[in-house]
Amino acid sequence: MNKATDFFWVTLMKWFNKNQRSYPWRFSDDPYHILIAEFLLQQTHVRKVESIYHLMLTTFPTIEKLAGSPESKVVDIITPIGLTYRAERLKKTAQTILTSYNGKVPVYYDELIKLSGVGDYIANAVLCYGYLQRTIPIDTNVIRLFCRYFGLTSDNPRPRTDKLLASRIREHFLPELQYKEANLAVLDFAGLICTANRPKCFECNLNDQCLYNNK
């Protein structure tokens, strides 16, 4: 790991230890819980998801229960946060996990990505937060922080969908330890400090080494 990468992770972890945000799914490393949380968090404000997450897990405490329940029951729970098409995908995914994976959320990316409604972000989130594997779930906020700090660019007008850029980040800038906490630190830091508009560079602990700030 080079100096800038080392500084990045060490600084982020120090910041995270004092400033981390607290959400119920962060206290779980059950891959099923992570899968439910990530489905609900898609394009939905995090604060709206908390009560629905609890309701989903009390109503469907296991994959078996979800797979065997009517889709309308899932729709009823998800309706307050919208995007109810997620209900069909969630149920389909639960059924596939039950029939093809013995009720256990797959532990391999290639299997996860084939599940209904599971894209690159959810697959990596399950691997990292559910199976504590060394990877980086990459969304718009995450990619913004990496691009700014490490001076990465993309020809793609939507860098979040740039697979080459994502592989580059995962190849060169993976955290050495505490993969779950490190990625949560990136999420929180990108959401609170390195924001899309008006990043708080003046109070940012990374500003010394950040290529965006020093250009």
Residues that bind ligand SF4 (CB under 6 A): 148-149, 193-194, 199-201, 204, 206-207, 210, 212-213
- CB nearer ligand SF4, residue 130 or residue 199: 199
- CB nearer ligand SF4, residue 90 or residue 204: 204
Q: Quick one: tokens of 142?
A: 């995450």
Rounded to a whole number of angstroms, the minimum distance from the CB of residue 11 to ligand SF4 is 9
Rounded to a whole number of angstroms, the minimum distance from the CB of residue 14 to ligand SF4 is 14
The three-point CA angle 172-156-135 to 5° equals 30
Rounded to a whole number of angstroms, the minimum distance from the CB of residue 148 to ligand SF4 is 4
Exposed/middle/buried for residue 111 (C-beta within 10 Å: 0-12, 13-18, 19+): middle
Exposed/middle/buried for residue 134 (C-beta within 10 Å: 0-12, 13-18, 19+): middle
Rounded to a whole number of angstroms, the minimum distance from the CB of residue 128 to ligand SF4 is 21
Q: Backbone dihedral region of 18: left (phi > 0), alpha (psi from -120 to 50 degrees) or beta?
A: alpha
The DSSP secondary-structure symbol of 127 reads I
- CB nearer ligand SF4, residue 171 or residue 203: 203
DSSP string, 42-102: TTS-HHHHHHHHHHHHHH--SHHHHHHS-HHHHHHHHGGGS-THHHHHHHHHHHHHHHHST
Q: Backbone dihedral region of 118: left (phi > 0), alpha (psi from -120 to 50 degrees) or beta?
A: beta
- CB nearer ligand SF4, residue 86 or residue 144: 144
- CB nearer ligand SF4, residue 104 or residue 200: 200
